[in-house]
Copies of this chain bind each other. A is one copy, B any other.
């Protein structure tokens, strides 16, 4: 490729990270702990053992900087990791920008997103602990299909509560979960007391992640041998997802550039954390100048408009109280197409990083998101997931600003998934029927 700019940066199998990185070890000030909602005392590990196995509770509360990735987990990661990092030269050209735009592409996983990075270890540690069945919720279906896949790999049963609006908008994701052998229920469902209560007060409810979480937790609390999993928000999830940023750091070194800015979309926070936290470590420990930007939907703006306070992680108020940016646990997000970002709260780690001024947050509206997603598809080929397209919208604006300022800038973003199962939303955009 001698006459061309190199645009692709690939790692070898042995470069799959060997450890997860825990930002909690490096915060200049420690975050506030989760509280028991009754006593308002910090939760103790035993309180969490009804939902999670001991090994995962230990990860959730760990003060260790690095946690070793079991070989069995790395072996499953090797079905799709290391993932590629690319420079978006065709997008740069279309924007006539002096900015260099890089993206880390997680859509090469079997389900097409970054979610297996945490589904695989959560299923693995549960299997080790003797769990028979896992239950969880899913918004757009990326998390549910990842967990269904991971459960199948490790021989666990899997039950998914899928937010009703997505269950209807994304029928293929439901079939995908069923192809892996999971059972899938539209939430609110009549399988749980809380689901029945929601349906009684609003039979037309389109659901939310908060409601689906409550249903999955209730299901698990009544079923011995079952445990609960969460696809975002938790410390353990942010931890597992750091394989993305760790690989990206090596790949940016191959490219011979340091990013000035790193972008990720933010719903529960793990897509942003995945790419940002390893760079944030370099900012904290090595003084690297890098801006880390979480991009959320204007219609579900927990970081940019939410309050920082203790709140519940679910609508039924069954979880511990988490210190986070929140729109309130009863907030009902509008039915935007980026179902994976329809969550009232934000990862406590991401919230704490924002509070300390270590990261920034922006909100973008849905039409800008799909405008950017379509431009990306037409230049780089990959149709981005609507969630990931939030990061692209912010990157495109940054590239335009760089053009107008006439200044070079190196930006990196997490293309956390492809949108092949979200094409109905692109049709809505292309035919002009999408709401802002």
Binding site for B on A (CB under 8 A): 1-4, 6-14, 16, 71-72, 74-75, 78-80, 82, 86, 90, 108-112, 116, 149, 152-153, 172, 175-176, 178-181, 374, 377-383, 418, 420-421, 423-424, 426-427, 430
Contacts and interface: CB of A to CB of B under 8 A. Distances in A.
Residue picked from A16, A71, A383, most chain B C-beta under 10 Å = A383
Contacts of A6: 13
29 contacts: A1-B14, A1-B71, A6-B13, A7-B75, A8-B79, A9-B13, A10-B82, A79-B381, A108-B108, A109-B381, A110-B380, A110-B383, A110-B418, A111-B381, A153-B379, A172-B420, A172-B421, A175-B423, A175-B426, A175-B427, A176-B420, A176-B423, A179-B378, A179-B383, A179-B423, A180-B377, A180-B378, A421-B421, A421-B423
Contact of A8 (B13, B110, B426): B13
Given A8-B79, A179-B426, 8 more contacts: A7-B75, A7-B78, A7-B79, A79-B86, A110-B377, A172-B420, A179-B377, A420-B421
Nearest to A12: B10
A385 to B, nearest CB: 12
B78 A1 contact: yes
Contact of A176 (B109, B111, B179, B383): B383
A79 B110 CA distance: 18
B427 A4 contact: no
Nearest to A83: B108
Contact of A172 (B13, B172, B175, B430): B172
A430 B178 contact: yes
A89 to B, nearest CB: 9
Contact of A430 (B9, B116, B179, B420): B179
A1 B382 CA distance: 31
B153 A90 contact: yes
Task: Tell me the number of copies of this protein.
Answer: 2
Nearest to A75: B4
Contacts of A14: 1
Contacts of A424: 172, 175
Contacts of A426: 175, 179
A378 B82 CA distance: 21
A306 to B, nearest CB: 33
Contacts of A179: 374, 377-378, 383, 423, 426, 430
A404 to B, nearest CB: 25
A377 B6 CA distance: 34
Contacts of A423: 172, 175-176, 179, 421
| CB-CB nearest 10 A-B residue pairs | A110-B381, A175-B423, A172-B423, A8-B78, A175-B427, A110-B382, A4-B75, A8-B13, A108-B108, A179-B426
A79 to B, nearest CB: 5
A4 B381 CA distance: 35
Contacts of A10: 10-13, 82
B421 A75 contact: no
Nearest to A181: B378
Residue picked from A7, A71, A420, A421, most chain B C-beta under 10 Å = A420
